A and B are shown apart, each in its own frame.
Chain A
Amino acid sequence: MSLRIVVTVKYVPDATGDRHFADDLTVDRDDVDGLLSELDEYAVEQALQISENSDDDVEITVLTVGPEDAKDALRKALSMGADKAIHVEDDDLHGTDVIGTSLVLAKAIEKAGYDLVISGMASTDGTAGVVPALLAERLGVPQVTLLSEVSVEDGTVKGRRDGDAASEQLEAALPAVVSVTDQSGEARYPSFKGIMAAKKKPVESWDLSDLDIEAEQVGLEGSWTAVDVANERPARTAGTIVKDEGEGGKQLAEYLASQKFI
């Protein structure tokens, strides 16, 4: 038996940098450093753990859709221990929305071949958290999403999903799409050996024609949503700061009362 895992990852602008929009109201990627979305590291980690706990022959492919620099995200995942990588890059992809992104990912996943797709719970830039569900819909396979625990055995994926009202145990037959939360388990740091090995691992590059996708289906033109306005939020005006000299709690209560919270 063998198990083919595709981990979808995203290259995102560093949240601690100064993120903003470009003139066409897409995310400006030039002025801020990018990196592998932290939430996708958990997806890579779970793929590695499934592999380590399996008697089967497991192959882990990391897949990203993004500009040239997005290769950095793939290298990071490879240095953590993934086996190979696929980079979908095409100028026509600029400005693609979640629906279009799910199309590109789904076509690439099908072309790569898969038994299990693992994603992070959301990207740290767009934060919509809908791509895993969209992938399941497109691929026509079960979604087993937002898991804080995941395991695979005998062609079945099981997991725990912690919701507001209840914690649910989920189960689905492979092939399936899984997404994992930041509670699924600390992601490992790449070792020196891992970093060296990653340099020799294969990274395939595909463009839209490799996936039989027309330019009109993606990019700003192909998006089913349009951003008309993006305004920087005015900085909050400086508030009152007091030092506690024994009466800090009372002073704060006075403030809350003045604002009618008490």
Chain B
Amino acid sequence: MAEVLVYVDHVDGAVRKPTLELLTLARRIGEPVAVALGAGAENTAATLAEHGAVKVLTHDASEYADYLVVPKVDALQAAVEAVSPAAVLVPSSAEGKEVAARLALRIGSGIITDAVDLEAGDEGPVATQSVFAASFTTKSRVSTGTPVITVKPNSAAVEAAPAAGAVEALAVTFSAQATGTKVTGRTARESTGRPELTEAAIVVSGGRGVNGAENFAIIEALADSLGAAVGASRAAVDAGWYPHTNQVGQTGKSVSPQLYIANGISGAIQHRAGMQTSKTIVAVNKDAEAPIFDLVDYGVVGDLFDVVPQLTEEIKTRKG
């Protein structure tokens, strides 16, 4: 069976959920071979094996942390040369897409970004994408070279599928470009204890209607009652009420959770671009004419300052 390379997104050996989703998708088109780079790479093996990786190629060097993107491209290129895979799958993070694009160009292959589903086809893997603010769904394939495909979080269910997960050292020679962009400083983001926005099963968002940074506490309380991530519309972020890293929309993050709760968000096209593929959409807004109500499965026309705290209390009561 053909091997499929899966690029592993991990933090010091802890594998992030989108990578496990990729292993599920990879099994539809071949045998997953994982590539884990940097500090803690070897510690990823057990988790990757549990989810179907037949092999885990690892390499650690200070270059991965000290320089931007290119060292990872060099390593992935070495993995492609070592394995001759049927496809390369990479999580659709900002960096993942950059790594995938440069790799594709180097190995003379086409690239598809932000796939939301993947299946085997007669002419190679077929990727589903959601385009034009999720108003269209396309099916595409790579017609030249080894398909390089980046896949968005929440595109597949994580499934356990025990496999050998044999660790092998990957031999990497860094290119002249590898040290071109130096990382001269790094400030870790303070953890909120909440799930990561793009990976969360439930997202609770606030917009212009939240009307102030301090009022985001109401949104956070609702999120916490559901174990959800907190999102914000561009209006709320531009007003300085919530960090840009939590922005949902065309210029922020695109999310596709099981449940999306929009509070005080009118639903401009730019916001819809980032959340329209959510499975269930719920909104609370004072304005009955807000376009968000065209999208919802359930909407409440009302003041979020009344509705949201009541909802939070009710959830807490029901959860006991």
Contact = CB atoms under 8 A, between A and B. Distances in A.
A252 B298 contact: yes
A225 B141 contact: yes
Contacts of B98: 129-130, 132-133, 143, 145
Nearest to A148: B244
Contacts of A214: none
A130 B97 contact: yes
The residue in B69, B101, B198, B318 that gathers the most chain A C-beta atoms within 10 A of its C-beta is B101
Interface stretch (A54-62, A82-90, A253-261): A253-261
B301 A128 contact: no
Contacts of B318: 253, 257, 262
Nearest to B311: A249
Interface stretch (B20-28, B52-60, B104-112, B205-213): B104-112
B139 A162 contact: no
A130 B100 CA distance: 9
Given A130-B98, A170-B183, A244-B303, A97 B189 contact: no
Contact of A169 (B95, B138, B185): B185
- The main secondary structure of chain A at its interface with chain B is mixed
Contacts of B156: none
Given A138-B105, A248-B284, A97 B259 contact: no
B289 to A, nearest CB: 11
A121 B250 CA distance: 11
A248 B181 contact: no
B196 to A, nearest CB: 7
B102 A249 contact: no
A18 B319 CA distance: 43
B110 A225 contact: yes
A167 B135 contact: no
Interface string B199-235: 0001000000000000000000000001000000010
Interface string B134-158: 1111111111110000000000000
A224 B144 contact: yes
10 contacts: A15-B273, A124-B250, A134-B105, A167-B186, A231-B136, A244-B300, A248-B306, A250-B310, A252-B282, A261-B280
A-B pairs with lowest CB-CB distance, top 10: A244-B302, A249-B310, A224-B110, A142-B180, A169-B185, A130-B101, A253-B314, A249-B311, A224-B144, A133-B98
Interface of B: 11, 68-70, 73, 93-95, 97-98, 100-102, 104-106, 109-114, 126, 130-145, 177, 180-189, 196, 198, 202, 226, 234, 244-245, 250-251, 258-259, 269-270, 273, 280-282, 284, 288, 293-303, 306-315, 318-319
